[in-house]
Homo-oligomer: A and B are copies of this chain.
Amino acid sequence: MLHLQTRTEHFTSPLYLESGRILEPFDIIFETYGTLNEVKDNVVVVTHALTGSHHAAGYYEDDKKPGWWDGFIGPGKAIDTDRFFVICSNVIGSCFGSTGPMSRMFPYDEPYRYKFPVVSIKDMVKAQRLLFDRLGLHKVHAIVGGSMGAMQALQFAVSYPNFASKIIAMAGTHATQPWAIAFNKIAQEAILRDPGFKQGYYDPDEVRKEGLHGMAIGRMAGHISFLSHESMARKFGREYRRDDGLFELFGKFQVETYLEYNGFNFTKWFDPLSYLYITKAINIFDLARGFDSLEEAIGQIKAELHLIGFEKDLLFLPSEMIKIHEIARKFGLTCNYLEVPSDYGHDAFLVELEKFDTYVKDALG
């Protein structure tokens, strides 16, 4: 059985953000699995992606589905909770318990909404570092994450070179490219233009109940970017929902039903403003920011690096990870790059675990 604990830490001292603004006070919600050993050297930090949360593994009492990386985290699994004390926190800006745009803007009783400051990946990492300090964890064995989680893992390595011994980053990049920014743009535009968004002054309960079409449409675009031409063809083919419906204007292919379901369902569990803020954080992610070059940024790293790219990932190309790998090797860092053969697309890091879980298990040592 997975030993799971969820807790929130409240911080009253200010978080100085990259933008020059301040977040104060703020909360971070986090979850742990496994047991911290006496010398505290068995900590593995897991970092989540755009719509992920601190609930990375196991089941809550009323859960129908387990945490988002349950196949990867647990007794005997790639991130083995029999050996490691695993901790995953919800990023600031998100909507699952850490401070985000719909949190109370202290001392007022109103939520921030647009008054919430822009947060960057570097800010998310900084906030997590404060959490770990609070917990007495000044050094960890490894940080493991995919997609936006990979950005955080890499940012940890650059910003806090002595914090983690190993970095395992998958399906990520050194700097978000226009292809990914373009998909985020669809979502942002669709949310902003939806009358139900009310220019940020929506009633969150109403949005959850009624759905927000703009966010559903944006999420549909997201789902395209998470897959590939090949995996969609395999998953859906040209299956039609109604045999005689081909010539009705609004007859539907299976892929359309899939996008609709996932798009509209998404509006029930994610917040539109959080989506705007987190996609913004992803768009502006650039490991080189604050340095003269990417080389200089990567030159800060002391951790052992494990980079994993997925062959048909269109959102963050393997070549983006290879670029980090090549620079790291030039600096004499211990860095290994694994390219996973896959035609699934970006979401392979969540789906095709069997293709890289042994690698990660070995990398964790």
* Stretch from A3-11, A24-32, A139-147, A252-260 forming part of the interface with B: A252-260
Bound-state Cα–Cα, A233 to B280, Å: 18
- For this chain, the copies found in one complex come to 2
* Chain A interface, number of residues (Cβ within 8 angstroms): 57
Question: In the complex the two chains form, is A182's CB within 8 Å of B220's CB?
Answer: yes
**Complex partner residue of A182 from B195, B224, B284, B314, CB under 8 angstroms:** B224
A181 & B283 in contact (Cβ 8 Å cutoff): no
- Return chain B residues, CB-CB under 8 Å to A118: 247-249
- Decide if A259 touches B224 in the complex (CB within 8 Å): no
For A236, give the chain B residue with the smallest CB separation.
B178
Q: Are B217 and A19 in contact (CB under 8 A)?
A: no
With the chains together, A263 CA to B276 CA distance in Å?
Answer: 20
Cβ 8 A contact of A177, one of B182, B214, B233? B233
Residues of B within 8 A of A185 (CB): 220, 255-256, 259-260
10 A-B interface contacts by CB (under 8 A): A120-B247, A178-B253, A181-B253, A181-B256, A182-B220, A182-B232, A186-B259, A189-B217, A217-B217, A253-B283
- Can you name 6 extra interface pairs (CB under 8 A) apart from A177-B229, A221-B221? A114-B249, A178-B235, A179-B224, A181-B253, A193-B194, A253-B283
Name A's B-contacting residues (CB within 8 A): 18-20, 114, 118, 120, 175-179, 181-183, 185-186, 189-190, 193-195, 213-214, 216-217, 220-221, 223-224, 227-229, 232-233, 235-238, 246-249, 253-256, 259-260, 263, 276-277, 280, 283-284, 286, 314, 317
